[in-house]
Structures are given as structure tokens and as C-alpha cells.
Structure 1
Amino acid sequence: MAAPRDAEIHKDVQNYYGNVLKTSADLQTNACVTPVTLVPKYIRETLKNVHEDVTSRYYGCGLVVPELLENCQILDLGCGSGRDCYVLSQLVGEKGHVTGIDMTEVQVEVAKTYLEYHMEKFGFQAPNVTFIHGCIEKLAEAGVQKESHDIVVSNCVINLVPDKGQVLREVYHVLKYGGELYFSDVYASLEVPEDIKSHKVLWGECLGGALYWKDLAIIAQKIGFCPPRLVTANLITVQNKELESVLGDCRFVSATFRLFKLPKIEPAKRCRVVYKGGITGHERELIFDANFTFKEGEAVDMDGETAAILKNSRFAPQFLFTPVGAELLAAQGCSGLETKDIIRDPFKLAEESDKGKPRHAPDGAGGCCGKKKSC
């Protein structure tokens, strides 16, 4: 997309989230409405501590809270009024740190206003949250250092940026090896037509800039990430008849993915893993993504791709790893990735959920479309 068009989109997004939207009641589609999901008690408790002026300016449809956050350095892309940052702040603890970046100055000022309030509420001696006014596709320019963060989160912001690849490249540079991007966003069932892309309201409401879902894996793997891991997905419906007519046959889904940046190593082999348990909020069961659930003490025969992620990320100390030969796997009726029906299509996962089938999704992971707007 040409630079002049990009600048126009940036201006429109800033205006939409800085001036047009005052509360969630101003939204014109349900793409940015939080679905009713079960939220673990430990996350509910953190939400109670967030000031109501911050939560009232939250336009999201879920929480982006991955597991095992203690002492982590986290970057929130498009932090908006800071709700997610203040939730994550409590979970990383005083030895961790959360940085939020957002292009909309009005939102950042709201977040900063309540910094002292939240630190006192959490009982922290020193602030463990920083807010930056800047662009998520220009993280280095905003002062975010290379390989400085364990986790990057984003709640429906990347779709608002014209150049998604540039955002992912910036994220890759600021992540440490073994780190991950845990993010929710809106995806389209096909390449979004130009008339939808150029519609200001549809772009502002997270649909016009949606990425064709198959393109995510292509872009991410070119940059160096592991293949995307689908966590959860929800179909989006549009109640506004006028907007619905513009969308035509293009369908949309909100989905949470996790992307890992691993060191350059030899391809991992299939192995058997046992979850030790003990992760806060997931002591007995860890739902890693839509395909793998680990129960405390139970052995799971694992494909090489997933084994590499577990072995080379912050999750490694939480598992026991045992090499398993192909012969043993075959004898036990488990041949790993080749026979497992790996779900990568968010529309397939969302449709299965609608049919009442069990959906593997961490409590509180939520969908997308956030209060936080990029640059």
C-alpha cells in the first residue's frame, strides 16, 4: 500500500479511537465486543484492581493473557488506555515489567494518569509499567531495544496497520530467542476487496484491514517465526445492514495465535513430554493451543514442531522430555504430526465451536479487537 494511503489510514484510526469512540457503546459492529467466556479466578481478581476510567475506554473482545508470566518482560502493542498492561503488571510481579505502546495520544495519557493509582493498589514499591506514544511498526524508532522482551502481546491492533509484515518484523527483532508473540486479531476468509479496505468505518471497526488468514503463516515464516499456533477462534457477525451489504461474501473471524521465535537449531525430533504442573492458573492442566492439552503427570507423544517450541521457550522447565523412537510411536498407535488432525484454520475451529463441539482454548484468552490502536 502506498505511503500516502498509509498516512491517511493512520490519521483515520487516530481520529476514530481518539475522538469518535468515547466508550464501547459507540461501536457500530460487534467485531469489538467481548464474547462471554469463562475467565479464571486469578485473572478476574486482577481485573477488579483496574480503575474504571481505564476499563471504560476498553473496546476489546477478550483478554490476551498467556501462561507463565512471572518476572517476564512484556510489550503490549497498541496498549490504548492500559487495561491489559495493568492486568499483566500484576501477573509479572515487581521483578517483571510491562511496556505499552500506542499511537493515540489521548489513550496513552489516560493510561499514564492512573499509573500511580495502580502501583499503590498492587502494593508495588516502584512502577513496573511504562507507556510509550509511538507506532507499533516502528518499535526501534520508539526506543524499544532489540531482543529485550520475553513476550509481546496484541489485542486486535495489527489489522489496523497497513503493513502487517513490518509489524511482525519489528516484533521479531525485539523478542528474545525463545520468546513469543501472543496475539488476537481479525482475519478474513479471502483477500479483502478494495471497497471494504477503503471503508473508514469498517477499517476502524477492525474488518477493513483484516488479513486473509492463510497469509499469516506465509508472512510470519518468511520473517523467521515458527508456524503459527492457533489457540482460539470466534466467528464475527455484523448486525448493521448497511455495513453487511458492503462486506458481501467476505467472512470474518477473531482468532488468537501464538508465534514463537526460536534459536537456529537442528530440527527437533518427536518425543514424549510430561507436564509437571504448577503454572499459576493452570496447575493441573495446560491448554497450549487448539491441538494440544497437557494434563499434570500425563505423558503425551509430541511432534517435532511442538517439541522444539516447548524445549526452547520459557515452558522448558515445566516439562520432562523423553526421546521416543518411531518404532515405539507406531506400536502405540501414535505417529505424531502426520496422523494428527492439526487445526490451523480459525474458521474451522470457530465453526466447530458453534456446532457445540469442545473447543480447546485457554480460559480468558478471548478473541480480539482491542482498545489499543497502532500507528
Structure 2
Amino acid sequence: MSLCSSAIEKSCSTKTYEDVKDYYGKQLGNTKDLKTSACAAPSKPLPTHLKDALDNIHEDISSRYYGCGLSVPESLENCIMLDLGSGSGRDCYMLSKLVGQKGHVTGIDMTDEQLELSRQYIDFHTEKFGFQQPNVEFIKGYIEDLKAANIKDNRYDVIISNCVINLSPDKKAVLREAYRVLKDGGEIYFSDMYINKALPAELKENKLLWGEGIGGALTWKELFHIAAEIGFCTPRLVTARYITVNEELKNIVGDRKFVSATFRLFKVPQDAVKVKSQAVYNGGITGYEDKLEFDANFTFKVGEAVEVDQELGRILKRSRFADKFSLQEAEKMPCSESSHPIKETIGDPFEFAEAESNGAQSSCSGDNFEGGRCS
């Protein structure tokens, strides 16, 4: 897990970083050693292409997986990708299969034990996926200072991170670096832990809470503020679920609640025109040939016009999804083709998780799908 560079070490709590290295490098033997339900399996069935990729990951890699979600966005063929805090390498190897031989995946991590493990299986997965040469690499570095790891500006199509950013005491530095190295139209798609009310300062310094990702968990509103300050589009909630903690942690944190939530943040040029649009999904994305659940608020069925907010229209037009959608300004669409009016979007992951726990299909499926929005 990646935390702090030597260049900014003096402004950080060195002990905290060393504690996290020790926790993930030495104390945790496998996923079962964690004290929260963060690493529970996804609640929904995986698309076939993702399940096939995961099934081909070596058991030694999968057993040391400490993520809190499934950080795999759509339309990844030929993409250049970066995994912040790559750990054992499970997500990197899965992504290497999805991007294909012409794509490339870089994993960056600060923990020597994790890097040693992930590098051992490069040849295994290259052969397993039928590639002529490796399309994945693992480098040592710190996610607050990617420049020190020689990661250049405007390099990546997509960045992922899986339950790592919550371990960093400087989330703004992490997201600022992500913004720098993303191409225009690029995306950071990440799962993380969030808290419903902030911890007092003394608990944020608790070694166990930091290791479990709780000590550094943001509130979702803090994420939105940081993203806006850096220049990202508004974070778009994909999914969320409650995380349970064991009695040891519950006695420390009291009645606070936690969710594992996945957000997608896009880097779209500021001069991109914002207009209310109708978006029609044309299909063509592997695993999502008939329907694309873009986030918690928008699901697109092939051939159906959906009215999208100005920012989403800008994202679809200027990102890797541009050739997968047809967009037209809403006021120019014939009345017969207009979709249902835009409803208030869900950004609060606790609201989403509560609906899910009560049995509501907040993911815009089945009878709740109406005009591309959750009804």
C-alpha cells in the first residue's frame, strides 16, 4: 500500500507509514486476517468476462487481496492503466487480461513484501492469458508523489485504486497526482471506505484503525470538496454497501457507520461545453452489450435515448466512451424521442447503502429502471 514519499516525509507521520507497511507486509497473512467485512465478495453476479479474468489469477495472489470493492470500469481494451497501491497484484493481473496485449498496466506500491509477491507471477499470467510478452509491471513508489516514481504527465487512460486512498493522510495530494498523470478525458475509478461522521484526532492516530482503513476514512462530502478543488468533474457514485466491524473495533469507534463505496472521477477539459443532452448507448462494450450501468443514477439500454445532466454529457463526449454513445442537445430532439426528465442524483453512499440493505434496487435494474434513471 502506498502512502508518503521521502520528499514530503517530514510533513507526514513517519510512524504511521511504517505501521501500515508492517500491517500489510507482515501482520496480515491473508484476507481472513482483516477485522472488517471490507473484502467481502461483490453482492451482484460478475459479468462473465470479469469472472473469467479473476478465475485465472494465481491463488497466491488472490489470497493476499485486501481491497474493499471491484475497481474495474468498462471499456478497457487497449487502455494504459495505473493501479494506486497495487498490493499483491490481483487487480493488475485481472486488468492486464482486460486491456489485452496492446494495453498496459502499471501497479505502484510501497510495501516490499507485496511487490515481491506480485512480481513473482508476471510470467505465469503472461502465459495464462496467451500474451507474447508481459503487459504489466510493478514499481515501488508512493501515491502522493508519482513524479518521484518517474510517472509523467497525461500518461494514463484510466487509474484505479482499491481500498488504498483511505490509508493516506493526504488524500488531496493523491488525487492531485492522479489528475496530473491522467490524459484529458481520463478517469480514476476507485473503491474506498467512508465514515458517516469524523473520528476525533486521537482515534485517527490509532495504529489498528489506520491499518484497517478506518482511521483515515473520509466523509463523502470531503471527497466531493477535494475533487472540486483539484478540477475533477463531480464524483459519480457507482455503488456502496455497509461495512461491518468486529467487536474490538466497535468498542473503539462507537456508533459510527462505514461504507465501501466506488466513485468515478473524470478529468475533462474545463473548456468542454456543457449542454443538456440526450445520450443513446450504441453498445459495443465487452460484457455490457445490451445495457450499461454507468453509475448509481444512470443506466443506458442500447438504442434508448436518456436525458443526462450537463456534466455527464460532457464526460461521455470527451472520454473513452465517446464512440460508444450518440449525443444530441436535448432541445433539438423530437418530442417523441425525449426521455423522462432528470431526477435528483444520488451522491451519498450511505443513502445508497441504506436503500440496498432495505432491498431497494438502487442500481437501476428491473422495475425501478425508468428513462435511464432510478425510479
TM-score by length of structure 2 reads 0.91
Cα distance between partner residues in 2 of 1:84 and 1:333 = 37
Aligned match for 1:186, one of 185, 193, 200:
193
Structure 1 partner of 2:231: 224
- The CA deviation at 1:3 is 4.1
Residue identity opposite 1:324 in structure 2: A
Cα distance between partner residues in 1 of 2:20 and 2:46 = 30
Structure 1 counterpart SS, 2:138: strand
Do residues 349 (structure 1) and 352 (structure 2) align? Answer: yes
Cα distance between partner residues in 1 of 2:153 and 2:140 = 18
- The CA deviation at 1:311 is 0.5
Structure 1 partner of 2:373: none
**Cα deviations by residue, 1:46-75 (Å, 9 ceiling, x for unpaired):** 112111111111122332110000000000
RMSD (Å) for aligned C-alpha atoms: 2.1
Aligned match for 2:214, one of 207, 217, 232:
207
Aligned match for 1:54, one of 42, 58, 61:
61
Structure 2 partner of 1:322: 328
Cα distance between partner residues in 1 of 2:225 and 2:335 = 31
Higher mean C-alpha displacement, 99-108 vs 318-327: 318-327
Structure 1 counterpart SS, 2:146: coil
Do residues 237 (structure 1) and 238 (structure 2) align? Answer: no
Q: Which has the higher contact order (CA 8 A, sep 6+)?
A: 1
Unaligned runs of 5+ residues in structure 2 are: 1-7, 366-375
CA gap 1:278/1:266 in 2 versus in 1, 3 angstroms: closer
Q: Is the 8 A contact 2:195 2:219 kept in 1?
A: yes
Q: Is the 8 A contact 2:36 2:246 kept in 1?
A: yes
Residue identity opposite 1:354 in structure 2: S
Residue identity opposite 1:45 in structure 2: D
CA gap 1:176/1:227 in 2 versus in 1, 3 angstroms: same
Cα distance between partner residues in 1 of 2:41 and 2:144 = 26
CA gap 1:96/1:266 in 2 versus in 1, 3 angstroms: closer
Structure 1 partner of 2:296: 290
- The CA deviation at 1:212 is 1.4
Q: Is the 8 A contact 2:330 2:338 kept in 1?
A: no
Do residues 145 (structure 1) and 148 (structure 2) align? Answer: no
Residue identity opposite 2:309 in structure 1: D
Cα distance between partner residues in 1 of 2:9 and 2:92 = 33
Cα distance between partner residues in 1 of 2:233 and 2:167 = 23
Aligned match for 1:311, one of 317, 330, 352:
317
Do residues 123 (structure 1) and 130 (structure 2) align? Answer: yes
Structure 2 counterpart SS, 1:183: strand
Aligned match for 1:264, one of 261, 267, 270:
270
Cα distance between partner residues in 1 of 2:282 and 2:333 = 26
CA gap 1:353/1:272 in 2 versus in 1, 3 angstroms: same
CA gap 1:121/1:24 in 2 versus in 1, 3 angstroms: same
Aligned match for 2:173, one of 156, 166, 174:
166
CA gap 1:358/1:145 in 2 versus in 1, 3 angstroms: same
CA gap 1:77/1:361 in 2 versus in 1, 3 angstroms: farther
- The CA deviation at 1:305 is 1.1
**Cα deviations by residue, 1:140-181 (Å, 9 ceiling, x for unpaired):** 101111100000000010000100000000000000000000
- The CA deviation at 1:226 is 0.3
Percent same amino acid among aligned pairs? 53
**Cα deviations by residue, 1:254-291 (Å, 9 ceiling, x for unpaired):** 10000000012244111111100120000000000000
- The CA deviation at 1:341 is 1.9
Structure 1 counterpart SS, 2:238: strand
Structure 1 partner of 2:44: 37
Cα distance between partner residues in 2 of 1:19 and 1:176 = 36
- The CA deviation at 1:361 is 7.8
- The CA deviation at 1:330 is 12
CA gap 1:48/1:334 in 2 versus in 1, 3 angstroms: closer
Structure 2 counterpart SS, 1:68: coil
Aligned length: 358
- The CA deviation at 1:360 is 1.3
Structure 2 partner of 1:370: none
- The CA deviation at 1:250 is 2.1
Unaligned runs of 5+ residues in structure 1 are: 363-375
CA gap 1:349/1:318 in 2 versus in 1, 3 angstroms: same
- The CA deviation at 1:32 is 3.4
- The CA deviation at 1:231 is 0.3
Q: How does 1:73-92 map to 2 (within 5 A)?
A: 73-92=80-99
TM-score by length of structure 1 reads 0.91
